[in-house]
Homo-oligomer: A and B are copies of this chain.
Amino acid sequence: MSDILMRRSVVLRRRPSGEPAPDDFEVIEEVVPALAAGEVLVRTIYLSIDPYMRGRLSDRKSYAAPVQIDAPMTGESIGEVVASESPAFKPGDIALGARLWQSHCVVPAAQLTPIARGAAPLSAYLGVLGMPGTTAYSGMKDIGQPKPGETVVISAASGAVGSVAGQLAKRAGARVVGVAGGPDKCLWVQEALGFDACVDHRVAHFSRALADTCPAGIDVYFENVGGAVQQAAFAQLNTFGRMVMCGMVAQYNDTELQPGPNLMSVVGKRLRIEGLIVSDKPERFAEWRALAAPWVQEGSLRWRETVIEGLESAPEALRMVLRGANFGKMVVRVGPG
C-alpha cells in the first residue's frame, strides 16, 4: 500500500421524488484511504441491484436505513481482496459483503464472508445463492409453507426472488402460477423454470386471466409487486391463504400511497399476511447457500441475470429494475472476476 490508489464511488447527490433521475447520483474519484488494523481492501467485481434499494434513497422511515446525501450508495457486492490487515483474508480471496457502490471498498474483515472460487459463477452469490435466493427460501419456509396440491402464485416470477420462490414451491409439490411482464418473461418462467403457468400482468383483464389460471383459488401468494396484481391475487385467496409480503416494486416510485384491499375477508378466510425482511433471520443465508449450491451446480435450480457493464451504470440499472426492464437478477459488472 505504498502507491496511491484511486477509486470511483457512486454517491447520492439528491433524494429522488418518484422515479430516480440520472443526476440524483454522481460518480466521484478519490484516493483510497489506508487500511487500519482489521480492515480489508476489496476490489468490486459485481454489484447487486435490487428493488428494495429505492427505500434507501428516501428519508422516510423504512427498514432500509437511508443513504446520506453525498455518501456512497450501499448494496450487496462481491469482490476480490487486494490488500488485508486481517489474518482472516489474504490477497486473491473472494469476499461477499463490502456493500458499497465503489470500485474499491475498505471494510472491516468481520463484515465479509469468504467465498470459495469455482463452485458457482461469482454473480450467483448476489442472486440465486445470495440475498434474493435466501429471501425466497425464507419466505417459503417461514411464511408461505406450500403443501402438495396447493396453488401458489408468484409475482415478478422471472425476477431474482420470484424465480427461486416458484421453484421451491414446485419442489414442495404445489401447482405454481407465475405473474410476469410480457410474453418473453412468461415463456421463460414456464419453459425454463417449469412453473405450471404464467400470466402476463399487461393483459387487458388480468384479474379474470388469473382466476381462469387458478380455478381452485390461491393458497399462497408471494408478493413482490403490489398494485393491481396484489388486488387480484388477494381477492382470490382461499380460506387459510397466506400472503408472503416480500416487496411491492410497482409502488416504490409512488409519491403517495394508493389504498389497499379491504381487510374484511382476512377474518372470514382466516388469512395470514406477513412481512419478510431476509436479514431478520441471518442464519438462513448460510443454510440456503449449503442447500442450493448443489442444485445450481447440477442445473436443477434455474436462474438468469441481466449484466450491465461499469460502476457508472449502476444508477441506470436501478432505474431499470424499478420499471421491470431487467430479465432475471440485475447485476453490474464493475471489474474482472
Chain A contacts to B: CB under 8 angstroms: 55, 62-64, 223, 226, 230, 239, 245-248, 251, 257-264, 266-277, 280
> Quick check: B251 and A267 within 8 Å, CB to CB?
no
> Quick check: A274 and B272 within 8 Å, CB to CB?
yes
Which residues of the other chain, B, contact A266 by a CB distance below 8 angstroms? 245, 273-275
Output the least CB separation between A133 and chain B (Å): 18
> Quick check: B280 and A267 within 8 Å, CB to CB?
no
The number of times this chain is found in the oligomer is 2
Q: How many angstroms between the C-alpha atoms of A272 and B245 in the bound complex?
A: 10
> Quick check: B280 and A275 within 8 Å, CB to CB?
no
> Quick check: B270 and A276 within 8 Å, CB to CB?
yes
Q: How many angstroms between the C-alpha atoms of A260 and B265 in the bound complex?
A: 11
| Given the contacts A259-B260, A262-B260, A246 and B274 also touching, CB distance less than 8 Å | no
> Quick check: A262 and B258 within 8 Å, CB to CB?
yes
Q: How many angstroms between the C-alpha atoms of A273 and B271 in the bound complex?
A: 8
Q: How many angstroms between the C-alpha atoms of A260 and B230 in the bound complex?
A: 13
Output the least CB separation between A196 and chain B (Å): 26
Which residues of the other chain, B, contact A267 by a CB distance below 8 angstroms? 63, 245-248, 275-277
Which residues of the other chain, B, contact A275 by a CB distance below 8 angstroms? 266-272
